[in-house]
Structure 1
Amino acid sequence: MARYYAIVPAAGSGSRFGADTPKQYLPLLGKPLIWHTLAALCRHPGLDRVWVVLSPGDAWWQTPAWQGLWLELGPKLEVVTCGGSTRAESVCNGLQAAATAVAPDDWVLVHDAARPCLSAVMLDRLLEELAGDPVGGLLAVPVADTLKRADEAQRVAATLDRDGLWQAQTPQMFRYGLLQAALAGRTLVTDEAGAMEAAGHAPRLVKSETTNLKVTYPADLGLAEWILRGRNAGGQG
C-alpha cells in the first residue's frame, strides 16, 4: 500500500510581509509560526515523515531557545538545508532528499510553511478523497467574492465570472513519481498543481475551509492567532 509523506518548503524570505524576520519564524502563540504548521503534519497518524526544506545556512532555525520546540514535534520531522531560490526548486530538492525513503507510487503532500491553521479535519478529508485518485489534488475553496480585473491605473477593467473559480490552498497531494516528473524543468510554477497541469494532468479540488489561511500580510498573523486560540479552546485538532 502507498504511504504518505509531507514536504514543507521553508526557504523563503517572506518579502511581502515587510518584516526583518522571515514570516515563518514570526511569533504565533509564543512559538515560531512554522512550529504550528509542522505540528499539524507531524501529529497526524497517517503521515510517516515530514521534511522541512530550509535555505542553506538558515540561522533562524538554530535559535537556541527554539531547539526544545523542534524536539516536541517528534521523530517524524527531518530537516534538510537544500532550499532553492524558488518554491518549485525547494520542493524539487526536497523530493530528491526524500528519494531513499519514498517509492514512486507513494503520496507526497506539499504544504506552505506560512499556513499554520491546517486542521486534522481538513487533512483527513484530503487523504480520504484522494486515496484512490489516479492524479491527486489539493485543498481549495470556491471563490465567494466578486472578482475585478484592474488596468494599469488601478481602475476596474472588467468583472470576472467567478463560477467555477476556486482559491488554491495547501497541502497539495500527488504521487511522488508523477510530481517529480511534473516539476522537472518547471522552476517558475507557483504551486505543485500548476506543474501537474502543465504536464497534462487534471488535479482534483478538495473543498477546504477559509480558516486554512496563508499568512502573507501583518493582519493575517492576528487572524491566525484568533483561529488557533478558538480551536484550542474548543479542543479541536
Structure 2
Amino acid sequence: MVGATIQQDYVADSTFVAREDIALSPTVTLNKGSQFTRPMNLDGYYSLQSMLTYGFPVDFIRSNINLSLSANYANVPTIFDGIESRTRELNLIPKIIIGSNISKNLDFTASYSAGINKMFSSLDNTAGSDYVTHTAAAKLGWTFFWGLTFRSTFNYIGYTGLDTGTEDYFLWNLSLGKKFLKNNAAEIKIEAFDVLKQNQAFTHRTGSNYYDYVSSNVLQPYAMISFVYTIR
C-alpha cells in the first residue's frame, strides 16, 4: 500500500516571540519572552504513507505469521518568529504477528512492534526528537468443558529515548464466562481490567517548532459483569 496527501492553504501556526512587553489590545498585554500563536494558511504540507506486509502459515505450530513494515513521513509548514520553516516527522513501524489456527475452541495471538519516531525542524537540525515505542502483546481465548470460557490479554508498552519521566508499563485483562442456549449463542462473563494497576495514557505530538508530551488520566482497575448474545 502506498498513499500520499498534498494540501494547499494548510492551516498552520504562526508564532511570534515578544522581545518586550507589547499591548495586543486595550485589555491584553504580551509580556516579554511570551509567545503568541495564530493560524495562517501556508502551502507546502504533504505526507506520504506506505505499508508492506507478508504472511505465511507455519504448520508445526499450526499458526500463521505476518510480517509488516509501515513508513510514514509528514512535512508541516510553520512560521516561527517571522521565519517560515518545516516541521518534519518520520515514523517506521516494523511488526510481527503470530496467530493460531488450531481450533475454534482455542485461539492465541502474540505480536511485537517497534514505533521508530524521528521529528525535527528545518530551523535547527540539531533540535530533533527521536524515540522508540515498544509494544508487545499476547492474547489467549479458550472454550473448554461445559461451555466455560477463559480469555486473557497482556500488553507491554515501553519507550526508549524519552526524557519525560515516562515509565514502561503492563496492561493485563482477564475474563471468565459461560456459554449457553442453542449453539452457545449467549454468554455471561465477569471481566477484570488492568489487573496490575499500571495503565497509562501518553502521546507525543508535533506543534509549531515544538514537540509536546501529553499524559492523560485513565480508568483505574475495575470489574464488570456482561451478557452477550450473538445473532447468527
TM-score range, shorter chain: under 0.3
Structure label with greater radius of gyration: 2
Structure with the largest fraction of helix: 1
Query: Given the two structures, how large is their TM-score scaled by the length of structure 1?
Result: 0.21
Structure with the largest fraction of strand: 2
Q: Whose relative contact order is higher, 1 or 2, with alpha carbons under 8 Å and at least 6 apart?
A: 1
